[in-house]
Structure 1
Amino acid sequence: MTECFSIDNYNKQLERKVDILKTLLSDFSLPELTVYSSPISHYRMRAEFRIWHHGEELYHIMYDKKTKKRVRVDEFPIATKLINQAMQTILPLLQHNHLLRHLLFQIDYFSTLSGQLLITLLYHKKLNDEWIIEAKKLKMQLAKQGVNASIVGRASNQKIAIDVDYIDEALPVMDKTFLYRQVENSFTQPNAAVNIKMLQWAVSVTKNSSGDLLEFYCGNGNFSIALAQNFRKVLATEIAKASVYSAQHNIAINHIDNLTIVRLSAEEFTSAIKREREFNRLKGIHLDDYRCDTVLVDPPRAGLDLNTIDILKSYKTIIYISCNPNTLRDNLQLLSKTHSIQHFAMFDQFPYTDHIETGIVLCKK
């Protein structure tokens, strides 16, 4: 499996993605594309595997997307070395523990560049006090073999953290290091090395910006925390409670004093801006105090809805982080009527897949 991960193979797949992206967006007037590559292996910070029970033996599996057949996974070169070490260490321990292995159907691994690891065990059964006792033993057994991990157990409508349900990441961005709390089962950028490049690009293209920044879909504050240094004030929105909790923690731990997070969807915030609705979650926040010349959006694969696009057209600068070049193209057909593209970047978040991450900066004509 590891023979696939060569510089030559990596560069070929990267060139193919560049060609696809340029072709998809060929109808627009584009500046030169800046391409940000990934490490060729051990770049993915999280991984999820089903667990196959074969007699007394346990092993990780994944399902082939084309054939739907299960594939045994003993090593996973795209995941961090820390995850690979944990994969090989935990199964023998679970194999000989009937209570921990019984009705275990999945294991999720979540790691950081800073060396922290979270392992989630998922079950088709209710977890009880006996499970907690055995999970604590498992944590100690892993530590004795050099794998220091937090353990979380999940079952239907149940979640038990043996100690904590998060890991803390440290990302160097230019001359600063930002700390990010990342909560189990919430969204984070999966390729930390490329995420650092995305943050550096975003900081660079917003240097000397005027006014304030508005960000939709801010997650745990990944972009807004790094970008706060370039703006007078930042207002960011996020709907997921776990991400809002993480963002509030990250604001405090990074000593950011000009960033406010509100728990609203992009659509709800759009309604608030238009004065169509009032939200209790905006109490104490005066939207008229913000002079947002710049807006950053990092939408899901479905892209931006028409109401949000209409709102964006009024901003001087739009930073669009896209995880789907097809919906990006559709959105640009509307945004390019009022804005021109000034910066164009591709970030290889998911090597060896069809996934393409794009960064676009549009300025009002």
Structure 2
Amino acid sequence: MALHRVNTDDYQDQLHAKAKRLAEAYREFTDLEPELFPSPPIHYRLRAEFKVWHEGGVAHYAMYRQGEYKKPFIIDTFTVGSELMNQLMPKVLEAVNSSEVLRKRLFSAEFLTTLSGDALITLIYHKKLDESWEREARALQEKLGFPILGRSRKQKMVLERDFVTEKLDIDGKSYQYKQVEGSFTQPNGHICRSMIQWAKNACGQNSNDLLELYCGNGNFTIPLSENFEKVLATEISKVSVNSAQENIQVNGINNLDIVRLSSEEFTQAIDKVRPFRRLAHIDLDSYSFDTVLVDPPRAGLDEDTCAMVARFPRILYISCNPETQLENLKFLSRTHRIERFALFDQFPYTDHTETGLLLVRK
């Protein structure tokens, strides 16, 4: 995040300028104007990492300006961070500066919060964490009412838990998610909720099945499972797969299977190039897929995965990088047209743009 204080008066103008640039970039593939999903102008970011800058024996939160990574600048507030994050930041810093054990060789502090009011604070050190650190950290944990986690090289000290629990209301129903520290979660909870609602609406109710690649902790998968007969989802991260399995159980979903495979591996599996033991309990031939959901990393879809998803009648493509999505569209537009087009403003006041496309076979 480039700014810790923002001018909210400019937000709507910035959003519409972003939408205009996006529409122009996609004009080769569609005449649609993007559906706009704005973020709250402040307090929208649920997770953040701060450098801890030591000066005169006092620790401060610090950040780097974009393009300037040699000297950080000290901050005393973080307007874009959630209200809970802003409540916790000064309390943590006060405790750190009151304890040499907590302050010494502390170089980073991470805050993970949720819309539902949960939080986890991770303190990261250039030293081994011992019993004296644990005592001080437990005292801070009790004072805050939220868990503290300590990290150093090859060491992770969990005092209570290493995750938060998020609850999202989607179309009048509440979904619960376990979000583990260090694993990927959507940073803007309000936009996350909008993305899921948009995806459910774009898919509609179906009598066939859904395939999802890059499913993470089941963020999209679990709500969308109610729109399809069966769902098969893949994810390469073991931590995310384990979280997704727990999230499936706590939300009472019974038509969804998640397997730990990369998109490249699943492409090999569905093409019967080679078998995978992780798919031994899955009968791929029993699925009647008509929709595929992809939410790839910034690199977009690799060539083989792009060719595989092009076989589906409908492709729901969520992207955090329009440049690579546009590159994939050069291939996908041969067989599909864009029926829905959305802009999700995940990071206001930046050039970052998150998009959603519903592609249907021509």
Preserved contact between residue 239 and residue 265 of structure 1 (Cα < 8 Å): yes
Partner of 1:275, secondary structure, is coil
Structure 2 match to 1:345: 342
Partner of 1:260, secondary structure, is strand
Measured in 1, the distance between the counterparts of 2:12 and 2:186 equals 22
Deviations 1:168-189 (A, max 9, x none): 0010001211111100010001
Measured in 1, the distance between the counterparts of 2:289 and 2:166 equals 29
Preserved contact between residue 173 and residue 196 of structure 1 (Cα < 8 Å): yes
> For 1:107, which of 109, 128, 142 is the aligned residue?
109
Aligned pairs for 1:200-215 (under 5 A) are 200-215=197-212
Q: CA deviation at 1:276?
A: 1.1
Deviations 1:122-175 (A, max 9, x none): 011111222222211111232xxxxx2111111111111110000000100012
Structure 2 match to 1:38: 39
Measured in 2, the distance between the counterparts of 1:247 and 1:190 equals 18
Q: CA deviation at 1:4?
A: 3.2
Q: Are 1:329 and 2:330 counterparts?
A: no
Structure 2 match to 1:145: none
Residue 221 of structure 1 aligns with an amino acid whose one-letter code is: G
Give the root-mean-square deviation of aligned CA atoms. Answer: 1.2
> For 1:290, which of 267, 275, 287 is the aligned residue?
287
Q: Are 1:70 and 2:72 counterparts?
A: yes
Give the alignment's TM-score, normalised by structure 2.
Answer: 0.97
- Large movers: runs of 4+ above 4 Å: none
Preserved contact between residue 210 and residue 293 of structure 1 (Cα < 8 Å): no
Residue 326 of structure 2 aligns with an amino acid whose one-letter code is: R
Give the alignment's TM-score, normalised by structure 1.
Answer: 0.96
> For 2:194, which of 183, 197, 201 is the aligned residue?
197
Preserved contact between residue 11 and residue 41 of structure 2 (Cα < 8 Å): yes
Change (3 A) 1:243 1:66: same
Preserved contact between residue 121 and residue 153 of structure 1 (Cα < 8 Å): yes
Aligned pairs for 1:116-265 (under 5 A) are 116-142=118-144, 148-265=145-262
Structure 1 stretch displaced more, 55-64 or 302-311: 55-64
Preserved contact between residue 5 and residue 80 of structure 2 (Cα < 8 Å): no
Structure 2 match to 1:16: 17
Q: CA deviation at 1:29?
A: 2.3
Residue 286 of structure 1 aligns with an amino acid whose one-letter code is: D
Preserved contact between residue 43 and residue 80 of structure 2 (Cα < 8 Å): yes
Aligned pairs for 1:70-109 (under 5 A) are 70-109=72-111
Deviations 1:313-360 (A, max 9, x none): 110100000101111111011001001111001100110111100000
Measured in 2, the distance between the counterparts of 1:314 and 1:30 equals 24
Measured in 2, the distance between the counterparts of 1:86 and 1:327 equals 37
Measured in 2, the distance between the counterparts of 1:158 and 1:117 equals 21
Structure 1 match to 2:53: 52
Structure 1 segments unaligned to the other structure (5+ residues): 143-147
Preserved contact between residue 4 and residue 77 of structure 2 (Cα < 8 Å): no
Measured in 2, the distance between the counterparts of 1:76 and 1:97 equals 24
Deviations 1:93-122 (A, max 9, x none): 111211111111000000001111100000
Measured in 1, the distance between the counterparts of 2:311 and 2:282 equals 21
Measured in 2, the distance between the counterparts of 1:125 and 1:280 equals 41
Q: CA deviation at 1:66?
A: 2.8
Residue 239 of structure 1 aligns with an amino acid whose one-letter code is: I
Preserved contact between residue 212 and residue 234 of structure 1 (Cα < 8 Å): yes
Preserved contact between residue 30 and residue 342 of structure 1 (Cα < 8 Å): no
Structure 2 segments unaligned to the other structure (5+ residues): none
Q: CA deviation at 1:24?
A: 1.2
Q: CA deviation at 1:2?
A: 8.3
Measured in 2, the distance between the counterparts of 1:53 and 1:106 equals 11
Measured in 2, the distance between the counterparts of 1:164 and 1:73 equals 28
Preserved contact between residue 269 and residue 276 of structure 2 (Cα < 8 Å): yes
Partner of 1:222, secondary structure, is coil
Structure 2 match to 1:307: 304
Measured in 1, the distance between the counterparts of 2:10 and 2:143 equals 39
Residue 235 of structure 2 aligns with an amino acid whose one-letter code is: E
Deviations 1:209-268 (A, max 9, x none): 341000000000000101000000000000111111110011001000001110011001
* Sequence identity (%): 48
Measured in 1, the distance between the counterparts of 2:5 and 2:304 equals 48
Change (3 A) 1:2 1:281: closer
Residue 296 of structure 1 aligns with an amino acid whose one-letter code is: L
Structure 1 stretch displaced more, 343-352 or 125-134: 125-134
